[in-house]
Amino acid sequence: MAEIKMTCPHCLDNNNCFEEKIDMENFSSYICFNCGFMSNSTYKRGSEAVQKMEDSSTELMREIKFFDYDREIYWFPTILNMGKFGMIYPEGKKNNWTWKLAEVRKLTEEEMKDPQYEGHEHTLDIENATEYGQHEFLDACKKMGIVKDL
């Protein structure tokens, strides 16, 4: 397995975009911590992997995906669910969207009585999610506490 720094085909950042190669499987995954887009070598035009990704994506994610002509793969905005650290996700419309960081918070005594939270002590605080610009994905990751410096 090798991690290679690369130039992002979406935002052209060359400091925060990485390819991780798994040679034995001839597979690569990609993520840019600047613009927050990700891909992998199975996301080829017309592939089952792209169809599966689109089927599980929001309308916004399908609208803002882009095609990387050099690698001949699609890139999608990342949804990063890190359990107790929270979740980073894109929100908005095609021409006006942002990154959101929803952190985990402790449920109130009253909320714990609600059947929808049965057996849980924490929830994802979507209502109070922090907003970040389209090229501030790394800032959201830092606030979440999952990266220090790349």
In a domain, 149, yes or no: no
Asked whether residue 90 falls in the same domain as residue 108, the answer is yes
Mark which of 77, 102, 136 sits at the end of a domain: 77
Provide the domain limits for residue 20: 2-77
34 close to 78: Cβ distance less than 8 angstroms: no
Identify the three-state secondary structure at position 63: helix
Asked whether residue 109 falls in the same domain as residue 131, the answer is yes
In a domain, 29, yes or no: yes
In a domain, 150, yes or no: no
In a domain, 108, yes or no: yes
What pLDDT score does 79 carry? 94
pLDDT tens for the chain, residues 1 to 150 = 678 999 999 999 999 999 999 877 789 999 999 999 999 999 999 999 999 999 999 999 999 999 999 999 999 999 999 988 999 999 999 999 999 999 999 988 888 888 888 888 888 899 999 999 999 999 999 999 887 665
Asked whether residue 96 falls in the same domain as residue 67, the answer is no
Mark which of 55, 77, 99 sits at the end of a domain: 77
Asked whether residue 6 falls in the same domain as residue 65, the answer is yes
β-pairing verdict for 17-22 and 66-68? unpaired
User: What is the domain count for the chain?
Assistant: 2
Asked whether residue 7 falls in the same domain as residue 72, the answer is yes
Write the CB contacts of 108 (distance below 8 Å, at least 6 apart in sequence). none
CA nearest neighbour of 66 among 58, 57, 75: 75
Buried/exposed 89-107: b ≥16 CB within 10 Å, e otherwise: bbeeeeeebebbbbbeeee
Write the CB contacts of 117 (distance below 8 Å, at least 6 apart in sequence). 107, 111, 123
